[in-house]
Structure 1
Amino acid sequence: MNYRFYTISSALMFITGLASAANNSAWNCEQTKNGEWTCLNQGPANAPEPPQPAQTVKTAPAEPANPAKPEIVAQPPAAVAPAPLQQSQKPELSKEPVKEAVKVVEKSGTEPQKLRVKVGENQMPEVEKVEPKTQVAAGGSRTQGWTCKAGDAKSGWDCNLVGADPRGEAHIVDENGVADVAGSLWFAPAFSHRQERDFQTLRAEFDRDPWQSCEVWGKRKPKIKATSKEARDAATTEINADFSEVFDGEVLNFAGNVDMNRADQHLVADKASYDTVAETLDAQGGVLYSEDQLAMSSETLSLNMGKDEARLRKAQFIVPQAPFRGSADVVYRDSKSLSRYNEAAFTSCAPGNQDWVVHAARLKINRESGQGSAKNAWLEFKGVPVLYTPYISFPTDNRRLSGFLAPTWGSTQRNGFDASLPFYWNIAPNFDDIVTPRYMSKRGEQIRNKFRYLTDMSRGTFAAEYMPHDQLANKARYSASLKDQTLWLPGLSSLLDLNYVSDKTYFNDLNNALGFQNTSYLPSTGMLTYARTGMYLSAAGYHYQSVDKTITDDLLPYDVLPRIGMNFSHAFDDFPLTLALDNQYSYFSHKTLVNGQRFNVAPSVSFPLESSEGFFIPKISALYSQYQLSNQTVAGLPSSISRTLPVFSVDSGIVFEKDMQISGTPYVNTLEPRLFYLYIPRKDQSNIPIFDTALFDTNFYSLFRENRFSGYDRIQDANQITLAASSRFIDSTTGLEPLKLTLGQILYFEDRTVDLFDRNNPTLRPFAQPQTSSTSNFIGELSGQVSRHLRYTTGAQWDPELNSLSRGQFALKYRMQPNQILNIGYRYRRANPQDVVQTVNQNNTTQVFSQTISQTDVSFRWPLFGEWFGLGRWQYSLNFDKTTESFIGIEKENCCWRFRVLGRRFINGANTIAFVDPSTKPETAFFVQLELKGLSSFGDHVDTFLQTNLDGYRKDNFFE
């Protein structure tokens, strides 16, 4: 109830009670500071001794009395004392109606009998005896607490309690009352059952459960905003209590079910005293205090509400933002953001779970700076101490803090035991650095450094690694990289991505076995771009370094410096016309091959007619290229070459829709035929070097390309039409697409003679026979989403000329994120004669060939039992006749921690090069990761590896 209302009501009850007592001279009552009434049963001077004890008189409830006029119903003493009440006698009861029972306890003796009268709102006063303190005979003191003796076989334990229960719950003590602490303290719970119950009570103080969806620990949590001091000062304090007392209108005493509220602050206690001037609050007995960013319970509480200072003893607390919870013998809150804890224990586990707990003799948390520190701290996991430190500092939120990060370790067949200990240096709000010493038992020591910066214009990183002496390679090894993004002006930006390694096998040897060599070349790029509506200008440079020992210098890509592009486009709003102009200048350089400059101009005009029912887009382009060559390796070839080719295309399609029902389920069925015609005249281009051009892979979308070659060095000859169609079945109820079928094929009206043959490099680009088939591969794809969790995809390409399968794939994907993932797939790709791969055999001679790919792939993450999950992958190459990639592991995860064990067996580089020597032996690696959620992660970064290798696996923070 509101305090003001309660004061008025209590005053009325107090006045009424005095009036009733005045009519009875036998009662002399006064009110104590804690709101209780003490009455002396005072009679006439010649009255005899009071009656003998000790009888309780209870009146049965009758009709409700007027709550505004409570009465004390008891038989007043007469002039002559009545005869003592015997055990078998019943007292005389008042005939007046009362609201509820009143208990009267009398006591004999020469001293006046003290009675305590309790008055509550809308209640009759309750009178009870004030028990005297228990007197203990001299020399006969007894031990306080539980004393248990072994009883007989029938009665079991014989236990007696002297004084208050020291713990509030039963526990074993010896004959002297000492608790039995035999056994290992390591496996004793950090929080008792009573404390866990208190945590559940504190948990309910927040509008939102701090551990809601705690399995997804990385999920972005809503920030909890603290109520301002101004809002608290302006708020009215409401107090509910059974008893109250006011001194001078400033000091308020409350007792019995005290419940106080002010803004976001809430206090529950047995007793409380509040000074309105000093804004101080003292509370005792079952104290619970909560606000927006904190909830605490304790035996006693001293709180300065004006300064947000507090002191608690035997306290439990919950900080919801992290979230974490803990206990402490003493808690000092020095301000709204700073708190100190003595003999503290805390964890981020939800109440009821104590899998890991950090203990500290002294703990300090500063929410304003986002930092915490602890002295004499030790970590226990499953009740077993695993780590101790005399001092540690740590962040309490996502703000950066200098210090050591969690170590990583693992074991690989290539490097042996591999351990790293990163040190994070928070240089400035926009600069930081990570220095990582690394030790590999088979190779030696390595130092890594990663510097990050962020300015108003730029952001980037500079990383470097250095190994003074590789014991296996017997040489020094190093690498460096620089990545930078800068916005100079609106629309004007630059990009730098520069990389260098000391040798070709650097990544294969020194990358962690959880990492991947995902390319045969290490690119370095620099680019400056300017973009605005209808215009795009760029200037760039490219350099490539081989990181694959099977790649010779002849097959290295060309360096490009510079490459300047100018692209313009404009679409008219009121007329179906689009104009475009693509210009590009490039200079190509190579150590062993012909060099050259290329200038390309490609104007185009199209007439797009589009609507929701279909489209019709004719387009005319002109391609002009000019080459200036140098360092030619073949005599007799021209050094200046020009090429001009017109390109004409028409792309058209239409969409038909039909509503239908299948087995009572409504569907929308679509039919989408599409025609694409392309004409490019034939022109011999074999004198033009291949600088940056390759053949696109064949798929359904390649049926609609204007050029089947990437780059400008080859423009295909074409007189062809593509016939294609798609059909979909869409569930009108769920929006799912359980079936999608696409079919397509190109019909050729002429033979194709343009290929990748290069007269400047006839060994690397051999001559190929003209393609005389009248049709392309027949391409079909079938896919669909059976349910929210199950999807399938399959596709095939049939070669009508060879009457055989050219491409094929199948994939079945089941997703019940984040716990259930299953992928089953197969991929087939027949060797293409125009695919060129170079290796060096034992005689150091160059071999050029193409290889068929036939590969199965199965991966999963699946619940096993309880909170345990199994995960793994098996990728088997049928053409290599061996497993190219496999790993198997188990993972346990709950709201408190995650544990992973992973074993990997793989062929290094099998997924990035087209040929693997049959004698290549697979490598093995073993990794362990323990993540204490909300604290740190120990071991290697297995989650990053799984995100790359287990299709569908995502880090926790992906599921928002």
Structure 2
Amino acid sequence: MNFRVHSISLALSLYTTSAVSAASNGAWNCEQSQSGEWTCLNQTPASGAPPQPQVIKTQPAPPATAQQAKPAPTEVKPEVVPVRQAEPKPVETEPAPIPQVAQPVPAVPPEREKVKVVEKAVSEAQKLRVKVNEPQKPAAEPVQAKSQTASSGTVPGWTCKTGDDKSGWNCNLVGADPKGEARPVSEVETELAATYWLTPTFSYQQERSFQTLRGEFDRDPWQNCSTWGSKKRKIKATSQEARDAATTDVTADFSEVYDGEVLNFAGNVDLTRADQHLIADKASYDTVAETLDAQGNVLYSEDQLALFSETASLSLGKDEARLRKALFVVPEAPFRGSADVVYRDSKSLSRYNEAAFTSCSPGNQDWIMHASRVKINRESGQGSAKNAWLEFKGVPVLYTPYISFPTDSRRLSGLLAPTWGTTQRNGFDASAPFYWNIAPNFDDIITLRYMSKRGEQIRNKFRYLTETSQGTFSAEFLPYDEIADKTRYSGSWQNKTIFTPNLSSTLNLNYVSDKTYFNDLNNALGFQDTRFLPSTAYLNYGISDFVFAAGIQHYQAVDKTITDAAMPYNVLPRINLNYSHVFEDLPISVAMDNQYSYFSHDVLVNAQRYNLAPAVALPIESDAGFLIPRLTGQYTQYQLSNQTNLGQASSVSRFLPIFSLDTGLTFEKELNFAGSPYIHTLEPRLFYLYIPRKDQSNIPIFDTSFLDTNFYSLFRENRFSGFDRIQDANQVTLAITSRYVDSTTGLEPLKVNLGQILYFQNRSVDLDYLTNNTKASASNTSNFIGELSGQLSRNWSYSTGLQWDPEYNRFARGQAMLKYRKPTNELLSLGYRYRRNPNDFVSNAQVSDPTLTINQTDVSFRLPLFGEWYGLGRWQYSLTFDKTTESFIGIEKENCCWRFRVIGRRYINAANNITVLNDPSTKPETAFFVQLELKGLSSFGDSVDTFLNTNLYGYRKASFFE
């Protein structure tokens, strides 16, 4: 838990060193106007000679009555005004020289007979304008009758409403001005106390003071605070140079100087310099002792902090300060809090007595962290607190006699927030992580995990960072699994090293003790969704137009249904050397893709494969269209070993020329539809491909498979991945794209893609290996593909796609999705997906195999229910197997300072495996999770952001914005 109190000490240092620096950094030059107002300019004389002290004589007092004739100070007791009011600013002009006019000297008390202003030469001149209002006798305000107040039906005092940009605040006074005096509390004010079980930490008057501090910033710190995960505005502090160059304006009811050393201001003291603002009833600055004392409703604000205190005592020479009954607001966090006493012992060390803080906006005290003593050491980046306790909804929920925490980005060893949940497979599942800060570039997270059905597990995650490398080593160990009756473990190592700007390496090694490790031991919020666990290691080098990469790939099965023969090949190693260059003065580009791979398998045939693919293209491109002819020579050589078939050759080679011609045009037209301007485009495209037919049935399949079919696959040179199969082709693709773009909003409400391949010959190359009866496709056309998509508004969009099989006169694929999304993570997605089994017919005779057909619906949402409550969930249903493969439902409440989640999940583990879904004994599992996140402090329970980011379409977790 991070108390974030360091932000206060950081801002206090700025306050103590610069809020009143204008008081001693220049000489004084004063002039009194006819109205009795003094205007002083402390500016070092141009000559550099030390200025001479001058005696300032005040104007004679107005005629007095007999009772008022005796000399007496006319200083007016300042009024206590808790809410800052606008003060007139002095005119930004240089004062004229003081005229040498004799003036009568009024009778003054003996201690004030000699009032001097002593000019002091300083190294750097700075302006200080002081506007002094002559003391006036307060006028008695008439007191309205109680009957008038009662008849009005309103509470006496000030009532303010926000006006427009020109008029500002709209305030009305009912009855006599309370002037900060105590008054009866209205029923509205008691609502704050009524919503808490215990007495609220911050009183109603303190909440009003927080509102005042909140208004000191040019932007509300809690604006859009419910979107806590969004990227926060960085507040840049005004530089000291800018403050030194700015003019300091001081307005007060009374000002005096004693012996040129002590400056006193009294009555509505208002100091402004650059971003700094200080308000107080009284302020005194001693230029010799370098101390400042401010008393009575002291308010100080700047870019990164706002403070309110009863008194403030600052020692500028010793970098010491003391504030009593202080309230503070840190806008960047945002945070607010209070402390009975704030001590600043040095630039780096500060102490707080009876401190409390929260990230909740003023008026909301849902959670508050308390501590009787807090220490902040900015030099070491550490803080500590005694008798710290957490209050939620007025109820104490957590206590610790002592806690230490980091005050900045530097890490500190200690306990992290625990997580917990319950699953049907593991029972109650709880984890307690401990963070160990080994060194500035090394750390470790040790997690103890308890599963009520399986036992205890230990996890370790070690991170390192060096000048050239960064990486993570993770390991898990379960000494004895009570269900599986065995020891289980896993390990992982990720590393990235940059040796030189051109040379780097990546490493991703993974291992588990058994095939069902992830299905059994992974948290139900994020189990393994693949059938193979990959491990890779690569060395990369790039310079100019050359790219070199060498590495290995290894796979481990994490699905118990996978046999040894079904395992993918290990590649030990794979070497790529690619070259690509575009000539600037000629419309020509050349490329060379070269690869060497060694395939290793325990059961199947092994091989070394060499592939060379030089290519040349003549691209001609403009805004109106393009024409790109391309010629590629594909040569592949195999050296086979450990042959599994009799008579299989040990060496196989293949060479194929590949020619393609890609061309397209773009037409645009402006039109007006329903009173709105649009741009309509037509983009026809033609793609011709020729590859001669060659028998490849004697080449084993190592890393090749069918590529997915969509609109953009119509323009590929090969419908297979890898190099083990190169399709035979004599075909042309006809396609067109049309768009409607709103010229006003930039939205694309309609986009249509249509395309189809026309075959001039049958296709004979497929994925069969060493078979005499090679399947051939005799259709003259490919599936007709149509896609329709668009943006209905900023929040609504849709996408649909269909593939029509003209050979069998039926739909081969289809999908449709309607999406709603707002930046506040309000989401709705309605989807349907259909894909017929691509291998469900042989020799033009259909063979029904429904288990290979995908036919499913998918609905997900996160929508507001009422108030701050949201509902979220997903339901994925397989029509093929008549089963719910994935579902969860939950509620979530989120406001400015906390978020609460409850999620229940029902799912089929390894639902991507057809064998599992088709097994009648497969039963769905259930899980239940609770999470409470106190924003800016910590999170309790199981983190579900990563799960929602994967399983809730369009959801973005907090780190996505940071």
Residue 421 (str. 1) matches residue 432 (str. 2): yes
Distance apart, 1:926 and its partner CA: 0.5
User: What does the per-residue CA deviation read over 1:49-74, in whole Å, with 9 as the maximum and x for residues that have no partner?
Assistant: xxxxxxxxxxxxxxxxxxx999999x
Instruction: Say if 2:686 and 2:733, in contact at 8 Å, map to a contact too.
Output: yes
Tell me, what secondary structure is at the counterpart of 2:956? coil
Which residues of 2 match residues 192-207 of structure 1 at below 5 A?
A: 192-207=203-218
Instruction: Say if 2:132 and 2:252, in contact at 8 Å, map to a contact too.
Output: no
Taking the aligned partners of 2:277 and 2:499, their CA distance within structure 1 comes to 53
Taking the aligned partners of 1:467 and 1:351, their CA distance within structure 2 comes to 48
TM-score, normalised to structure 2, is 0.81
Aligned to 2:830: 824
Residue 809 (str. 1) matches residue 811 (str. 2): no
Distance apart, 1:27 and its partner CA: 3.5
Q: 1:874 to 1:30 in 2, by over 3 A?
A: same
Q: 1:368 to 1:231 in 2, by over 3 A?
A: farther
Residue 267 (str. 1) matches residue 278 (str. 2): yes
Aligned partner letter, 1:537: F
Q: 1:228 to 1:606 in 2, by over 3 A?
A: closer
Instruction: Say if 2:277 and 2:300, in contact at 8 Å, map to a contact too.
Output: yes
From 505, 508, 524, give the equivalent of 1:513: 524
Aligned to 1:758: 769
Structure 1, 899-908 or 677-686: larger mean CA deviation: 677-686
User: What does the per-residue CA deviation read over 1:658-686, in whole Å, with 9 as the maximum and x for residues that have no partner?
Assistant: 22222222221111111111111111111
Q: 1:263 to 1:932 in 2, by over 3 A?
A: same
Instruction: Say if 1:457 and 1:487, in contact at 8 Å, map to a contact too.
Output: yes
Aligned to 1:618: 629
Structure 1, 508-517 or 213-222: larger mean CA deviation: 213-222
Aligned to 2:888: 887
User: What does the per-residue CA deviation read over 1:312-344, in whole Å, with 9 as the maximum and x for residues that have no partner?
Assistant: 222212223322111122111224554321111
User: What does the per-residue CA deviation read over 1:906-926, in whole Å, with 9 as the maximum and x for residues that have no partner?
Assistant: 001113556512321000001
From 280, 302, 316, give the equivalent of 2:327: 316
Tell me, what secondary structure is at the counterpart of 1:126? coil
Instruction: Say if 1:886 and 1:906, in contact at 8 Å, map to a contact too.
Output: yes
From 596, 601, 611, give the equivalent of 1:600: 611
Q: 1:313 to 1:557 in 2, by over 3 A?
A: same
Distance apart, 1:367 and its partner CA: 4.6
What is the root-mean-square deviation in Å for CA atoms of aligned residues? Answer: 3.3
Aligned to 1:726: 737
Aligned to 1:865: 866
TM-score, normalised to structure 1, is 0.81
Q: 1:797 to 1:262 in 2, by over 3 A?
A: closer
Residue 331 (str. 1) matches residue 332 (str. 2): no
Instruction: Say if 2:785 and 2:803, in contact at 8 Å, map to a contact too.
Output: yes
Distance apart, 1:186 and its partner CA: 4.9
Taking the aligned partners of 2:321 and 2:953, their CA distance within structure 1 comes to 52
Q: 1:18 to 1:171 in 2, by over 3 A?
A: closer
Aligned partner letter, 1:773: S
Which residues of 2 match residues 23-422 of structure 1 at below 5 A?
A: 27-31=69-73, 123=134, 125-126=136-137, 168=182, 170=184, 186-226=197-237, 238-261=249-272, 264-367=275-378, 369-422=380-433
Taking the aligned partners of 1:575 and 1:183, their CA distance within structure 2 comes to 80
Aligned partner letter, 2:660: S
Q: 1:616 to 1:292 in 2, by over 3 A?
A: closer
Taking the aligned partners of 1:544 and 1:385, their CA distance within structure 2 comes to 51
Aligned to 1:549: 560
Q: 1:168 to 1:28 in 2, by over 3 A?
A: closer
Instruction: Say if 2:76 and 2:135, in contact at 8 Å, map to a contact too.
Output: no
Q: 1:835 to 1:645 in 2, by over 3 A?
A: farther
Taking the aligned partners of 1:25 and 1:447, their CA distance within structure 2 comes to 88
Taking the aligned partners of 1:125 and 1:683, their CA distance within structure 2 comes to 107
Q: 1:273 to 1:753 in 2, by over 3 A?
A: same
Taking the aligned partners of 1:383 and 1:403, their CA distance within structure 2 comes to 27
Aligned partner letter, 1:750: Q
Aligned to 1:939: 941
Structure 1, 946-955 or 426-435: larger mean CA deviation: 426-435
Taking the aligned partners of 1:167 and 1:877, their CA distance within structure 2 comes to 71
Aligned to 1:105: none
Distance apart, 1:437 and its partner CA: 0.8
Aligned partner letter, 1:898: R
Structure 1, 478-487 or 424-433: larger mean CA deviation: 424-433
Q: 1:249 to 1:235 in 2, by over 3 A?
A: farther
Q: 1:915 to 1:684 in 2, by over 3 A?
A: farther
Residue 792 (str. 1) matches residue 798 (str. 2): yes
Aligned partner letter, 2:403: I
Aligned to 2:839: 833
Tell me, what secondary structure is at the counterpart of 2:461? strand
Q: 1:165 to 1:223 in 2, by over 3 A?
A: closer
Structure with larger RCO (C-alpha < 8 A, sep 6+):
2
Instruction: Say if 1:436 and 1:449, in contact at 8 Å, map to a contact too.
Output: yes
Tell me, what secondary structure is at the counterpart of 2:210? helix
Aligned partner letter, 1:27: A
Tell me, what secondary structure is at the counterpart of 1:187? coil
Aligned partner letter, 1:555: A
User: What does the per-residue CA deviation read over 1:751-780, in whole Å, with 9 as the maximum and x for residues that have no partner?
Assistant: 111111112xx7xxx965211111111111
Aligned to 1:712: 723
- Aligned pair count reads 824
Q: 1:69 to 1:886 in 2, by over 3 A?
A: farther
Aligned to 1:921: 923
User: What does the per-residue CA deviation read over 1:106-152, in whole Å, with 9 as the maximum and x for residues that have no partner?
Assistant: xxxxxxxxxxxxxx9565753999xxxxxxxxxxxxxxxxxxxxxxx
Which residues of 2 match residues 444-843 of structure 1 at below 5 A?
A: 444-759=455-770, 769-833=775-839
Aligned partner letter, 1:869: Y
Residue 437 (str. 1) matches residue 448 (str. 2): yes
Instruction: Say if 2:715 and 2:733, in contact at 8 Å, map to a contact too.
Output: yes
Tell me, what secondary structure is at the counterpart of 2:206? helix
Taking the aligned partners of 1:15 and 1:790, their CA distance within structure 2 comes to 73
Which segments of 5 or more consecutive residues in structure 1 lack a partner in the other structure?
A: 38-67, 74-119, 130-163, 173-181, 837-847
Aligned to 1:954: 956
Distance apart, 1:394 and its partner CA: 2.3
Tell me, what secondary structure is at the counterpart of 1:554? coil
Structure 1, 852-861 or 716-725: larger mean CA deviation: 716-725
Tell me, what secondary structure is at the counterpart of 1:406? coil
Aligned to 2:60: 17
Tell me, what secondary structure is at the counterpart of 2:852? coil
Taking the aligned partners of 1:483 and 1:528, their CA distance within structure 2 comes to 14
Q: 1:193 to 1:264 in 2, by over 3 A?
A: same
Instruction: Say if 1:880 and 1:918, in contact at 8 Å, map to a contact too.
Output: no
Aligned to 1:132: none
Q: 1:496 to 1:913 in 2, by over 3 A?
A: farther
Distance apart, 1:609 and its partner CA: 1.4
Q: Is the radius of gyration larger for structure 1 or structure 2?
A: 1
Distance apart, 1:272 and its partner CA: 2.2
Q: 1:686 to 1:301 in 2, by over 3 A?
A: same
Aligned to 2:932: 930
Taking the aligned partners of 2:443 and 2:809, their CA distance within structure 1 comes to 61
Aligned to 1:900: 901
Taking the aligned partners of 2:315 and 2:275, their CA distance within structure 1 comes to 15
Aligned to 2:15: none
Distance apart, 1:530 and its partner CA: 1.0
Distance apart, 1:184 and its partner CA: 12
